Amino acid sequence: MLIKLENITKTFVSGKVETPVLHGIDLEVDRQDFCAITGPSGTGKSTLMHILGLLEPPTSGRYLLDGEDVTILSDSQQSRIRNKKFGFVFQSFNLLPRATALENVLLPLVYADPYPRNAKRRAVDLLERVGLGDRLNYFPGELSGGQKQRVAIARALINSPDVIFADEPTGNLDRKAGFEIMAIFQELNRQGNTIILVTHEDFIARHAKKILELHYGKIKREETVTNRLDAREELKRIEKEE
């Protein structure tokens, strides 16, 4: 078992106002799993992903990562785990506008100690892997939305993470670009990467192996997807329509 959450809660406090967001979440994720967290807006999907990615502490409960309770670790210890074991892909890309695609992919290694000897070669390989081998020196402003998200995926992979967290990665993309991104995630999963994806779109969630549906901060439904969508097949259909 790679990840296990036990009775996780989260309440945001602003002055005297308390806003409960998550209520008693129990969750298990195996290695090489592909899990989609879905549900309507405001139901706690991103908050749950932030807790899983050690970007936000839970109010109560236990989070076991490889059997270790990471909720009791210090901020610096959690930061080391986050930088070493996790990669993140966000809806807004979060690329530096004055850095090239290659430089953006290398960013997570700035504080690496020691700095990997083959870092640049690996970054180039990753950009080639996501279909951007001919865009290494392009700036974000010169790339399409789908290409920016591919750079973000390559950046998430630079540290060879155990888990890739993707928060609404297709939210700012058109239909075709969205399927292209999902095709990359499915291929990464076939190659052994564990992926946890947040989406409010059911058809995107059905590219995963497992769906967790949140409703008012609780897990309403857990489903093993028997008829998964294949993004490559969806792309073929779109190309025929064009």
CATH of residue 120: 3.40.50.300
List the domain range (segments joined by +) for residue 65: 3-241
DSSP H/E element including 3:
strand 3-14
Instruction: State residue 242's pLDDT score.
Output: 75
Q: Residue 83: exposed, middle, or buried by beta-carbon count in 10 A (0-12, 13-18, 19+)?
A: middle
What pTM was computed for the model?
A: 0.93
Q: What angle do CA 132, 37, 204 make, to 5 degrees?
A: 50
**Contact assessment for residue 129 and residue 121, using Cβ atoms and an 8 Å cutoff:** no
Q: What is the total count of domains within the chain? A: 1
Phi, psi angle pair for 9, to nearest 5°: -125, 155
Instruction: State residue 192's pLDDT score.
Output: 94
Residue ranges, the chain, pLDDT below 50: none
Helices (H), 31-74: 45-52
Q: Is the peptide bond before 114 cis (omega within 30 degrees of 0)?
A: yes
Single-letter amino acid code for the residue at 43: T
